[in-house]
Amino acid sequence: MKLLTFAKTELRNLFSKPATRPYPQQERVYPQRTRGHIENDIDTCVFCGLCSKKCPTGAITVNRAEKSWSIRRFSCIQCGYCVESCPKNCLSMHQSYTQPAGKKTVDTVCQTQEENQNAS
Ligand code: SF4
Ligand code: SF4
């Protein structure tokens, strides 16, 4: 009896589509409301520091004097509080996730330099 059940499962699996995706040939399309990672439109930022104060994990650092905004991506829990609290709406949640890395890096965006820097 058990052998018959096994044969049925085997036949069904042979003629059905695989349950997994053939990654990387077929990339995952995330649902619209996926919380992946935070981006800052630095040109709109006024460095008020509200996002940093609201962040429950302390992942954001704002330096008003240097006009820089930093995020420790591996500390971020994608709660979205910073996006909700930003008075200039310059923060946004993007669907793609932070890439795996061997070190916990800090992403910094400066208004003056307008370029991303990575630091340990
Ligand atoms: S809350 Fe918005 S405007 Fe204020 S520092 Fe954060 S990102 Fe910039
Ligand atoms: S999404 Fe949440 S944890 Fe991540 S930086 Fe914003 S407030 Fe902090």
**pLDDT: which is higher, 66 or 2:** 66
d(CA 69, CA 63): 6
CA-85 nearest atom, ligand 1: 1
CA-50 nearest atom, ligand 1: 1
Closest-CA residue, ligand 1 atom 1, reads 86
Residue 24 lies in a domain: no
Nearest CA among 59, 58, 48, 111 for reference residue 85: 48
Please indicate whether residue 80, judged by its CB atom, sits closer than 6 Å to ligand 2: yes
Q: What is the CATH number of the domain that holds 63?
A: 3.30.70.3270
Please indicate whether residue 82, judged by its CB atom, sits closer than 6 Å to ligand 2: yes
Residue 117 lies in a domain: yes
Q: Global pTM?
A: 0.79
Digit-coded pLDDT (tens) for 51-100 = 999 999 999 999 999 999 999 999 999 999 999 999 999 999 999 899 88
Digit-coded pLDDT (tens) for 8-62 = 999 998 999 888 889 889 988 889 899 999 999 999 999 999 999 999 999 999 9
Residue 52 lies in a domain: yes
Count: domains in the chain:
1
> Residue 117 pLDDT > 60, yes or no?
no
Residue 109 lies in a domain: yes
Residue 26 lies in a domain: no
Nearest CA among 18, 39, 26 for reference residue 95: 39
